[in-house]
Structure 1
Amino acid sequence: MSSKFFKANSKRKLKGIPSTEQLKRIRTEFPEIKVLKSGWDNFEIVVQIRPTAISELYDVKIIYTENKWVKIFVISKTLELAKNRTKLPHVYDSQKQQLCLYSPSKKEWNAHNYIIDTIIPWVSEWLYYYELWLPEGKWLGGGHNEYPNEDNTETLVNEE
């Protein structure tokens, strides 16, 4: 249909995967998810993730706003700190336990990626490396240099 008021545009591209489609795909793998909020362009859900067979089960809140961002929080428990650390590794906020899973500036994730194929596996991987980090406070999960003077001291002076 085309008129002077409405022009059909075959070149028009979706800005990303619709939130309804994201949620549908997550439900195929996690049918027991808790949906806290669901709108036409956003959702908040809680997914239970166990990174390994001997790991604890973690409740993880995923907040998605279509074409904008995904925020991830561990909500089931207060994550412990390694003995020689004063904050959690690779988080945006230690108190809120908001995980840092990718670098937005490096465009490692965008709204054209399915959360079930990227974010959720990354959460599991983050939790796996967190469990390895606990005994000695060494982050083995890669990413940016969380502890710049790692070689100089056991406890970080300017970690905050």
Structure 2
Amino acid sequence: MVSTPRRAINLGRQLAAIQAVLPHAQGVVHRGHLVCTVTLQPNVLCRVYTVKVTYRHRSSPRVRVIDPLLELHPRATSLPHVYSGGDLCLYFPGEWTEDMLLARTILPWTCEWLLHYELWLITGRWAGSGEDHTVSPADEDAESER
């Protein structure tokens, strides 16, 4: 059986799909790049985040939280599921392909990431899939000496 090659979705269509779901989204397609800024609130109890999505065909979409600045859990030394450049790690390799709409995949996955991030700030445990990023418990002896 021969499979049909997947066609990348036009960048203008990607932006239109994002703006159909989030009319407040600000975006532009220029020289083969899509750059879009959106505000997301994973649930009514969560903060509102401003997120920047950049995408170019044959590349992975890049997502970065630009406001507010991401904080560390008090006992953590690094943010979980974030690449060294600050882009969010949202999916496993091969899980996203360029025939998928960003509005139906990357943006919901970003909301899910933000929800896991807020829970991690409170509990110190990353509840999402992927690598475990549980923060080690506080040293009770050190706490009692204070």
TM band (smaller chain): 0.7 to 0.9
1:33 is aligned to 25
Post-superposition Cα deviations, 1:39-67, rounded to whole Å, max 9, x if no partner, equal: 25321110100000121110000001023
Name the structure 2 match of 1:141.
Answer: 128
User: Percent sequence identity over matched residues?
Assistant: 33
Structure 1's 14 and 142: CA in aligned 2 closer, same or farther, altered over 3 A?
closer
TM score, norm. by length of structure 2: 0.84
| TM-score of the pair, normalised by structure 1 | 0.77
Cross-structure match for 1:65: 56
Give the conservation status (yes or no) of the 8 Å contact 2:17–2:103: yes
Report if the CA contact (8 A) 2:125-2:133 is conserved: no
After superposition, what is the alpha-carbon deviation per residue over 1:68-125, rounded to whole angstroms, capped at 9, x for unaligned?
Answer: 22000000121111111111110103xx531000122xx1001011101100000000
Contact 2:40 2:51 in 1 (8 A): yes
Q: Which runs of 4+ in 1 moved over 4 A?
A: none
Matches within 5 A, 1:52-131: 52-93=43-84, 96-104=85-93, 107-131=94-118
- Uncovered stretches (5+) of structure 2, i.e. residues with no partner: 139-146
Contact 1:75/1:97 (CA < 8 Å) preserved in 2? Answer: no
Q: Give the Cα–Cα distance (whole angstroms) in 2 for the partners of residues 23 and 14 of structure 1.
A: 19
CA root-mean-square deviation: 2.1
Larger Rg over CA atoms: 1
Which structure has the highest helix share of the two?
2
SS of the residue aligned with 1:135? Answer: helix
Q: 1:101, 1:126 within 8 Å by CA — same for their partners in 2?
A: yes
